[in-house]
Structure 1
Amino acid sequence: MVDLEKILRARKDLRNKEPLIHAITHPISINMVANAILFLGAKAICASHPEEVGEIVKMADSLSISLGNITAERMAAIDLACKAANEKKTPLIIDMVGVGASTLRYDFAMELLDKYNFDLIKGNSSEIRALAKGKSNAIGIDVGKADEISKENIENIAKEARSLAEKYQTTVIVTGKTDLVVTEKSYITVDNGVETLSKITGTGCMVTAMVSSFMAVTDPVTASLCGLLVMEIAAEKADTEGLYTFFVNLMDQIGLISDCEIREKAKVREIKF
């Protein structure tokens, strides 16, 4: 059973502790990511130069990595940052953006998974299937139609994510119309959110940074649920036909959404394997 009160305590702990979150992301979403962290009540830094990331990781309370819009310099920085995070035992999440789209990202992701320990692996269902099976139906960085989570395939996708959780001793987030938080023993479904989220660039990167923020104060499963619920219930409140109006409303609601609204609106369910 999902403990909503534990999730809400994580929100309070984050605001009280104001942890420093190091997010290695990309130019497309860096402003959105930094502001999402700030609006939750944490502090943000987005250092990505190879000569300073190790030093920054040592002072950070959590580290999030995104493979979006990858460059050679950022690949070098990511490798050094993951090494520093493991040495310091800093909570670490990786967002596998585009691993189903290019050999470069797939090979780099597999290299990182072999070298370092990640507390959380995140991706859409095409990205997770690419990691678990070596192939998927990804369309660029977007999920392919055949990989979309549905009533018919949700159990299979959960089992594929579970294989990663077992192999790498981690927790896996699979994003989609229904989100999954997967461990070796069970998976939790999150059925909040609105379709408009998929029409705004950078929202997936924001979720990664929000989950990373909560990882500074709680365990990976609770952090995953907290980040997903805050983002998606905020989106439900912000939803409107105007896409940029929705974006502005969403950023506001991330900081304004109340615990009562999360209690009332959360649609979560745990299923044992």
Structure 2
Amino acid sequence: MIPWLDAHTPFPDVSEALTTEAPGLLAAGGDLSPQRLLAAYQRGIFPWFSEGQPILWWSTDPRMVLMTERFKISDSLKKTLKKVDKSSRSDGRWQVRFDSAFEQVMRACAAPRKDGPGTWISEDIVQGYTGLHKLGFAHSSEVWLDGELVGGAYGVSIGRMFYGESMFAKVTDASKVALAYLVHFLKLNGVRMIDCQQETGHLASLGASPIPRNDFLALLKQAIDQPRIRHWEPVPPFASTF
């Protein structure tokens, strides 16, 4: 039986998360206010639930993470990055921006995919993370082609810790370009680890790997105690930097 949170109930210790049936499930209820979300992320907890379910809070073990120094760029992505960088400096058809269309990125991530329905990103989730963005704790990396948003990624930033949430692409490699620019920026700003939450083959192909939750929490505590990143401006990534 997992605890039910009301507006003032604190999160239980992550060691109380389920280990069977729904491994990592810690609690249900509460809200998606910026204060609640920040309290969750600082403790290694994240919300994940489907439409019609109560808010469900998780702390998975092991935890999937991407160390910024281990991010993998495929040969095809290298070619795309060179094209985007060259274009951004010449004809401007391709551009990468941070935080110019945060809510638009979220809604694109929530939209139905070619191979299935929309994601778990509900209207409540959009509003909750948009609130974090307005406070400077959530950020988007955006890829634009001829003035249209064609790819992006978003997540939460606390101290020198980044928590990746979702990505989308309308053209080939657009989401990976957004991620490559984001990872490069984070690496330059002393962010060692991106929380990916759950293990997938796609994340593994980008260099992410699972680590024990206790190791994750130790690294997390070090990272969130550092000063936050104040200025978010994309810097072109080059293959030699990874």
| Length-normalised TM-score, structure 2 | 0.30
* Greater per-residue strand proportion: 2
The structure with more radius of gyration: 2
Which fold has the larger relative contact order, with Cα–Cα distance below 8 Å and residues 6 or more apart in sequence?
2
TM value normalised by structure 1 = 0.28
